[in-house]
Structure 1
Amino acid sequence: MAKSKSGANVIKPAGQFIAWAVLIIITMLTAYIMISNMQNKPAVLFGRSIVKAVSGSMEPSIHSGDYIMIEKTDSSELKAGDIICFYSHDSAIYGMLNTHRIVRILDDGSFVTKGDANSAEDPSTVTSDTIVGKYTGKVRFLRWLNSFASAKKLILAAVVIVMSATAVYEVITIAKVSAECRANRKNNDDAVREAIEKEKQKLYEQGYEPENTDDKKE
């Protein structure tokens, strides 16, 4: 019973530490994604890019504020109908990330794009060297998180979480050391008692009987 209780006491702090670690990682990754998009850069995770849609030009397929997954794709594999993310050459948003659908491919290999919600095609064609990749889906968790948290708030939250996790880890470490010290003291006490009992048993087997102090007084 004691061993089972001790095991549970060890598992509980370990589980708390893992939970804190996961929370820290999620918070820091989310902050990284948001900051990257604020700087007009795709956030690259596990070989894929995450980009935030900043306009409604692709509605209803992609809504403003959606975080989308972009997979690096060879331009020769792209076809009409694919949604791609690229650095725009349009004068109004030159150099900005843009995500539109390919409507046709020209003989020189460049792409004519258009937003699903737009009535006209984009004025500038897209060349392969400006393409980030092909749209593969949405990251819905990030949109939900972004609905109530700004990048600055997430950075602050990450700092607070890291500091809190450090404090929790220190408390767990101190508690563990204290428990080990108590266990060592108990083991030492048990060893002393066991040695005394063995010595008593040895003396008893040798026929030694302790003197009766009450008889001496009489």
Structure 2
Amino acid sequence: MKKLLAGAGNLIFIMVTLYLCYFIVSAAYNRTPAFFGYRVLRVITDSMEPVFASGDCIIIKGIGEDELAVGDIITFISGDPSLNGAYNTHRIYDIARDYMTGETIYFTKGDNNVWTDEYTVSEDDIVGKYIGKLPYGKTLSRFLDKLAEKDFYFVAIILPIVLCLASCVVQLIKEVGRAMRKRGKDEEA
């Protein structure tokens, strides 16, 4: 039974490590990591109020073009030069077909904006469809903001690592001491 539990623990550790590697590589290439097709994004503007507001964490799911309709909320790579290819999440206002290329083009608009977006969205730029808000997303968002601060980063990340390493060193010293005492008793006998 112990071997089975140890094997399961090792498997979980390996899976978490592989996912973290995937997460780091995705972040390095400016892609949002997906977990079974779902992604969590942080909202930074109020353009979609009242559906979601700045600071909320939203869940999107990758989907096919034929699954989109007017009224759906999508996340896409913005063609707006002022956004530098950043993700934008707005509602589909209209759908049209480009007569030259035959490609479907999406017109989008933030619910809290007066005008539709100046730049259209192509199929290739769509990242996913809005599924819902992450419970306690604003709390998570505030925590991430705090984590970005130097002092909090030290307290939340560096200090626990140092304490864990110190604990391991203390345990190692105790084990070495026990082994030496046992060896001394064995030599006396």
- TM-score norm. by structure 2 comes to 0.65
The reply on whether 1:50 has 2:54 as its aligned counterpart is no
Alignment of 1:6-45 (within 5 A): 41-45=30-34
Question: Match of 2:32, as an amino acid?
Answer: A
RMSD of the TM alignment (CA)?
3.5
Would the aligned equivalents of 2:58 and 2:137 in 1 still touch at CA under 8 Å?
Answer: no
Identify if the C-alpha distance between structure 1 residues 137 and 175 changes in structure 2 by more than 3 Å, giving closer, same or farther.
Answer: farther
Whichever structure has more strand as a proportion of its residues is: 2
Structure 2 residue aligned with 1:126:
121
Question: Match of 1:170, as an amino acid?
Answer: V
Alignment partners' CA distance in 2, 1:179 and 1:150? 41
Identify if the C-alpha distance between structure 1 residues 130 and 155 changes in structure 2 by more than 3 Å, giving closer, same or farther.
Answer: farther
Would the aligned equivalents of 1:85 and 1:97 in 2 still touch at CA under 8 Å?
Answer: yes
Higher Rg of the two aligned structures:
1
- TM-superposition CA deviations, 1:66-88 (whole Å, max 9, x none): 22222222222222222111111
1:151 to 148, 163, 169: 148
Would the aligned equivalents of 2:42 and 2:141 in 1 still touch at CA under 8 Å?
Answer: no
- TM-superposition CA deviations, 1:100-139 (whole Å, max 9, x none): 1112221241111111111221122111111111222333
Gaps of 5+ in 2: 1-15, 99-103
Question: Match of 2:35, as an amino acid?
Answer: F
Identify if the C-alpha distance between structure 1 residues 105 and 116 changes in structure 2 by more than 3 Å, giving closer, same or farther.
Answer: same
Whichever structure has more helix as a proportion of its residues is: 1
Would the aligned equivalents of 2:109 and 2:116 in 1 still touch at CA under 8 Å?
Answer: yes
Alignment partners' CA distance in 1, 2:29 and 2:138? 17
Structure 2 residue aligned with 1:113:
108
Structure 1 residue aligned with 2:163:
164
Would the aligned equivalents of 1:81 and 1:103 in 2 still touch at CA under 8 Å?
Answer: yes
- TM-score norm. by structure 1 comes to 0.57
Identify if the C-alpha distance between structure 1 residues 110 and 95 changes in structure 2 by more than 3 Å, giving closer, same or farther.
Answer: same
Structure 2 residue aligned with 1:73:
63
Alignment partners' CA distance in 1, 2:70 and 2:42? 23
- TM-superposition CA deviations, 1:33-81 (whole Å, max 9, x none): 9xx5xx9945314243332211100111111012222222222222222
Would the aligned equivalents of 1:42 and 1:50 in 2 still touch at CA under 8 Å?
Answer: no
- TM-superposition CA deviations, 1:3-24 (whole Å, max 9, x none): xxxxxxxxxxxxxxxxxxxxxx
Alignment partners' CA distance in 1, 2:97 and 2:108? 15
Alignment partners' CA distance in 1, 2:132 and 2:171? 41
SS in 2 for 1:165: helix
Of all paired residues, the percent bearing the same amino acid is 36
SS in 2 for 1:160: helix
Greater displacement, 129-138 / 152-161:
152-161
| Aligned length, in residue pairs | 158
Identify if the C-alpha distance between structure 1 residues 90 and 104 changes in structure 2 by more than 3 Å, giving closer, same or farther.
Answer: same
Structure 2 residue aligned with 1:84:
74
Identify if the C-alpha distance between structure 1 residues 105 and 163 changes in structure 2 by more than 3 Å, giving closer, same or farther.
Answer: same
Gaps of 5+ in 1: 1-24, 193-218
Identify if the C-alpha distance between structure 1 residues 166 and 40 changes in structure 2 by more than 3 Å, giving closer, same or farther.
Answer: same
Alignment partners' CA distance in 1, 2:69 and 2:169? 56
